Amino acid sequence: MSVFYIDGEYMDSKDAVLSVSDMAVLRGYGIFDFMRTYNGRPFYLKEHIQRLANSGAHVGLDLPCSQEELFDIVMETLKRNSFEESNVRIVYTGGISPDSVTPQGNGKLMVMVTEKLDLPEWWYTDGAKIITNDVERYMPEAKSTNYMNAVLSLQKAKKADAIESVYVDRDGRVLEGTTTNIFLYSGGKWVTSDKGILPGITRSVVLDLLEGEFEVELRDLSREDIKKAEEVMISASNKEIVPIIQVDELTIADGKPGEKTLKVMELFKEFTTAYGLGKTDSVKEKTAV
Ligand SMILES: Cc1ncc(COP(=O)(O)O)c(C=O)c1O
């Protein structure tokens, strides 16, 4: 059983309902953000709330409360649940509108806490395949509830025995996955795209952890860069860091997770294992949430 928050109330998830007239249902108009807990604490909650507000600014939806109030609501919702580790989803919908296209500022704010589920172990030990897909996301800096591109792209990936699909735009820029950011190790440095993407919180934590350990370059990536890459990895809140051993039909290096990727996974593990326990001095924590 999960306890959800909707619009001022905490309730059993099965009683949490939304009007069928909400613009989120009729128009796919709404924003959300997603994070998980480590040691029971939401990972970079402040940054996720800030990103949610930023998504709202992009699509013209103002949050109905302050970021500090939302922080407290998330913490309270977590307290009312009792999972060892949780996934946390914050959603703010477009609300009900007489013509179903003009927002009236009456959206529903929801915080949904569910049990964190583990992903297949082999992704991390053996590495996984991803595909590229010629798709452009509308307003990539915003995390909107319209994930049509992601749903379709992931279906395509699954058909190709891949775990993720990476968007490539009309200029041939390799941007990001449906719910991940991508890093290539090439020419002695980690390279990741910087424009036309959702600024991933995991990506930013990884960039912090890379400091002092590896050289880093933020720039546009192309399919040609993938061909030259010695290692590839993807990052996301729900996946952490996954080593990628195949992109489309191309095997990366010897088809095994590379040592640089394994090092980054180790740094990330060290950081998240200590997260929230007051022992994070050995690794960088941007914000003590
Ligand atoms: C389009 C897109 N890019 C990147 C990410 C990775 O972001 P984060 O690391 O904050 O989970 C996500 C997460 O869902 C996403 O939807």
Q: What local confidence, expressed as pLDDT, does residue 278 receive? A: 79
Q: What local confidence, expressed as pLDDT, does residue 279 receive? A: 56
The residue segments making up the domain with residue 9 are: 3-115
Atom of ligand 1 nearest to the CA of 181: 4
Q: Mark out the alpha helices in 60-135 (DSSP H runs).
A: 67-79, 121-125
Q: Is the distance from CB of 67 to CB of 49 less than 8 angstroms?
A: yes
Q: What is the DSSP letter of 48?
A: H
* Closest C-alpha residue for ligand 1 atom 14: 179
**Is there a single domain that holds both residue 137 and residue 240?**
yes
**Is there a single domain that holds both residue 95 and residue 132?**
no
Q: Which of 84, 115, 146 is the last residue of a domain?
A: 115
Mutate to test the pocket of ligand 1, among 237, 268, 271, 272 (most ligand atoms within 8 A of CB): 237
**Is there a single domain that holds both residue 203 and residue 85?**
no
Query: Does 110 map to a domain?
Result: yes
Rounded to whole angstroms, how far apart are CA atoms 117 and 47? 23
**Is there a single domain that holds both residue 23 and residue 155?**
no
The number of domains in the chain is 2
**Full 3-state SS string of 121-184:** HHHHHCCEEEEEECCCCCCCCCCECCCHHHHHHHHHHHHCCCCEEEEECCCCEEEEECCCEEEE
Q: Which of 115, 142, 162 is the last residue of a domain?
A: 115
Query: Does 220 map to a domain?
Result: yes
Q: What local confidence, expressed as pLDDT, does residue 84 receive? A: 97
Q: What local confidence, expressed as pLDDT, does residue 288 receive? A: 39
**Is there a single domain that holds both residue 104 and residue 158?**
no
Q: Is the CB of 261 under 6 A from ligand 1?
A: no
Q: What local confidence, expressed as pLDDT, does residue 286 receive? A: 47
Global pTM?
0.95
| Regions of the chain with pLDDT less than 50 | 280-289
Supply the CATH number for residue 254's domain: 3.20.10.10
Query: Does 289 map to a domain?
Result: no
Burial classification of residue 46, based on how many CB atoms lie within 10 Å of its CB (0-12 exposed, 13-18 middle, 19 or more buried): middle
Q: Which residues contact 121 (CB under 8 A, 6 or more apart)?
A: none
Supply the CATH number for residue 55's domain: 3.30.470.10
Q: What local confidence, expressed as pLDDT, does residue 144 receive? A: 97
Q: What local confidence, expressed as pLDDT, does residue 225 receive? A: 98
